[in-house]
């Protein structure tokens, strides 16, 4: 199909999602799609080979583009259009992708349900009363609804794998430093990763091949080539998969346990072995994450001061303090304010050692747990991605801790900076269940290759009984 045809189809699909009330997009336009298609068709006609020719890709709206607003789903960025583009976006465009839409998210990527968006919650494509997960819920929902084959999201603590699991799509968080953060609006800089969604592992891998690799504009990118998994199915004989017992608690939802047993069974049938392992510091991951991420957020969000970006409110006194107070008081939603308060508190004199420094030490213990099991001959870890399937909207909005616990199986990976993937492994009462593979540092390729094999043999959309 020509890029012009792909642009028309994408516009029609996005229109349908909007008409259904998914609320997954914050910005898209048929004319922007047409203009991009025109350029792609011209490049193809001129003989260029484009690895992602006319592939529609949606972007979480905390990734900057120069031709559309970037809101981070926050009032504080009202009217903001970036003067430059994120490296991941520039690389997608260069590869011929069609940037389809900017997608809805929890404000500044803080949340696990996309209910903390200033522009209304995203609905789960299979059940509008439920959440799609978060914070990249708009991107996950668009892929699950079939509007786009792939999308970018971001992870600070599970924000791609968790919604991928809830929506029944593939979500990949690459190892920290494999994809440039340039142009990703900073939340927790030691954790943030541009991450990808696809209908399949191959869709996600296609994006990663293009967007990964070193970038002089992000000094934390690793000096490693792009993530390039083998395109052909690999042999799983000899593969050793670890099941960390802390990720299979006694009260785990039985359907999720059964789904994971099937994945482990498939590994054995294909010639791999499955062994029990332990990551003893797992239970500290959520509390550690919810100290470190808010601490970094409180520093990163200081830049939204009413002077440089978006919203400006001159307070009643007319001085600079009043400007900060009025702009930030009006511009930030409740969850963002909570994070800034917690982050400022744990970094303040007298509390720094008790909270922030201690959290950093526990973070090292968590990373060591992983290093230890991977050092003992285990190639990959297999876990559920989430402790439940997609929950109902409103169920956890009054209880931040209940919301934070939705991240219990995903946040340790971010603290350790490792690659991980969630892929569909069956359904329970019609709702998707995700299986997670976690890889050692620089194991992104192997992880994607194994996931691609498992995806072929698993009944991804069948009810688990
Ligand atoms: N749910 C986590 C939070 O609210 C993760 C967010 C993310 O990964 N961006 O902080």
| Model pLDDT for residues 271-306, shown as the tens digit of each residue | 999 999 999 999 999 999 999 999 999 999 999 999
Could you report the per-residue pLDDT of 429-439, keeping only the tens digit for each? 999 999 999 99
290 alpha carbon to ligand 1 midpoint, in Å? Answer: 9
**Other C-beta atoms within 10 Å of 377: how many?**
9
What pLDDT, on a 0 to 100 scale, did the predictor assign at position 176?
98
Q: What are phi and psi of 137, to 5 degrees?
A: -65, -35
What pLDDT, on a 0 to 100 scale, did the predictor assign at position 1?
84
For residue 271, what are the CA distances in angstroms to 265, 336, 419, 445? Answer: 10, 48, 23, 20
Tell me what the mean pLDDT of segment 39-44 comes to.
98
Please give the mean pLDDT across all residues of the chain. 97
**Among 154, 203, 214, residue whose Cα is nearest residue 179:** 214
Q: Which of 136-145, 281-290, 342-351, 456-465 has the lowest mean pLDDT?
A: 456-465
Catalytic residues: 60, 135, 159
Ligand 1, pocket residues at CB < 6 Å: 109-112, 135, 154-159, 187, 293, 407
Cis peptide bond upstream of 135, omega within 30? yes
Measured from the CA of 188, which atom of ligand 1 is nearest? 9
443 alpha carbon to ligand 1 midpoint, in Å? Answer: 23
For residue 419, what are the CA distances in angstroms to 101, 104, 413, 448? Answer: 26, 24, 7, 10
Measured from the CA of 110, which atom of ligand 1 is nearest? 4
* Residue 309 C-beta-side C-alpha neighbours within 13 Å: 20
pLDDT band for position 15 (50/70/90)?
very high
3 alpha carbon to ligand 1 midpoint, in Å? Answer: 35
159 alpha carbon to ligand 1 midpoint, in Å? Answer: 5
Measured from the CA of 112, which atom of ligand 1 is nearest? 1
Share of the chain above pLDDT 90, in %: 97
**Among 173, 162, 171, residue whose Cα is nearest residue 131:** 162
**Among 385, 380, 364, 372, residue whose Cα is nearest residue 440:** 380
pLDDT band for position 459 (50/70/90)?
confident
Could you report the per-residue pLDDT of 49-71, keeping only the tens digit for each? 999 999 999 999 999 999 999 99
What pLDDT, on a 0 to 100 scale, did the predictor assign at position 465?
82
Measured from the CA of 134, which atom of ligand 1 is nearest? 1
Could you report the per-residue pLDDT of 120-165, keeping only the tens digit for each? 999 999 999 999 999 999 999 999 999 999 999 999 999 999 999 9
Q: Which of 156, 286, 301 to mutate to test the pocket of ligand 1 (most atoms within 8 A of CB)?
A: 156
Q: Is 405 a residue whose pLDDT tops 90?
A: no
37 alpha carbon to ligand 1 midpoint, in Å? Answer: 34
Q: Which of 107, 108, 153, 159 to mutate to test the pocket of ligand 1 (most atoms within 8 A of CB)?
A: 159
What pLDDT, on a 0 to 100 scale, did the predictor assign at position 264?
98
Torsion of CA 331, 332, 333, 339, to 10 degrees: 180
Q: Which of 158-162, 248-252, 422-426 has the lowest mean pLDDT?
A: 248-252
Q: Which of 173-182, 401-410, 420-429 has the lowest mean pLDDT?
A: 401-410
Could you report the per-residue pLDDT of 74-116, keeping only the tens digit for each? 999 998 999 999 999 999 999 999 999 999 999 999 999 999 9
What pLDDT, on a 0 to 100 scale, did the predictor assign at position 406?
86
Share of the chain above pLDDT 70, in %: 100
- Report the phi/psi class of residue 244: left, alpha or beta, with left for phi > 0 and alpha for psi in -120 to 50: beta
């Amino acid at each position: 199909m020509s890029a012009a045809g792909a642009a028309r189809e994408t516009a029609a699909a996005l229109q349908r999602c909007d008409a259904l009330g998914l609320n997954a997009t914050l910005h898209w336009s048929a004319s922007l799609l047409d203009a991009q298609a025109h350029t792609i068709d011209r490049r193809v006609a001129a003989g260029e080979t484009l690895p992602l020719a006319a592939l529609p890709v949606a972007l979480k709206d905390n990734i900057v583009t120069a031709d559309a607003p970037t809101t981070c789903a926050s009032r504080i960025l009202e009217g903001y259009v970036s003067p430059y583009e994120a490296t991941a976006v520039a690389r997608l465009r260069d590869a011929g992708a069609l940037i389809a839409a900017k997608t809805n998210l929890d404000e500044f990527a803080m949340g696990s349900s996309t209910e903390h968006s200033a522009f209304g919650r995203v609905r789960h494509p299979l059940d509008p009363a439920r959440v799609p997960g978060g914070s990249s819920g708009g991107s996950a929902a668009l892929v699950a609804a079939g509007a786009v084959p792939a999308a970018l999201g971001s992870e600070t603590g599970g924000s791609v794998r968790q919604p991928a699991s809830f929506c029944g799509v593939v979500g990949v968080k690459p190892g920290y430093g494999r994809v440039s953060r340039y142009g990703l609006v900073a939340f927790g800089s030691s954790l943030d990763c541009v991450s990808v969604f696809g209908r399949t592992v191959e869709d996600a891998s296609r994006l990663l091949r293009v967007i990964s690799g070193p970038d002089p504009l992000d000094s934390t990118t690793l000096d490693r080539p792009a993530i390039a998994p083998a395109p052909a199915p690999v042999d799983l004989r000899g593969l050793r998969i670890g099941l960390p017992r802390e990720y299979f608690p006694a009260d785990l939802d039985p359907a999720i346990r059964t789904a994971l047993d099937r994945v482990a069974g498939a590994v054995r049938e294909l010639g791999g072995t499955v062994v029990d392992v332990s990551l003893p510091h797992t239970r500290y991951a959520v509390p550690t994450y919810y100290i470190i991420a808010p601490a970094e957020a409180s520093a990163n969000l200081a830049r939204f001061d009413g002077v440089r970006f978006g919203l400006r409110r001159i307070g009643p006194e007319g001085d600079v303090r009043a400007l900060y107070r009025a702009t930030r008081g009006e511009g930030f939603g409740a969850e963002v304010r909570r994070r800034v308060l917690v982050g400022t508190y744990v970094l303040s004199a007298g509390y720094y050692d008790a909270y922030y420094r201690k959290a950093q030490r526990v973070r090292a213990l968590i990373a060591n747990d992983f290093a230890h099991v991977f050092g003992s001959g285990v190639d990959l870890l297999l876990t559920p991605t989430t402790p439940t399937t997609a929950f109902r909207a409103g169920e956890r909005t009054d209880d931040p801790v209940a919301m934070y616990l939705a991240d219990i199986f995903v946040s340790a990976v971010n603290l350790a900076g490792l690659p991980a993937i969630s892929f569909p492994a069956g359904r329970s009462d019609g709702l998707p269940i995700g299986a997670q593979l976690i890889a050692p540092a620089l194991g992104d390729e192997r992880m994607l290759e194994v996931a691609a094999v498992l995806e072929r043999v698993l009944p991804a959309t069948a009810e688990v009984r």
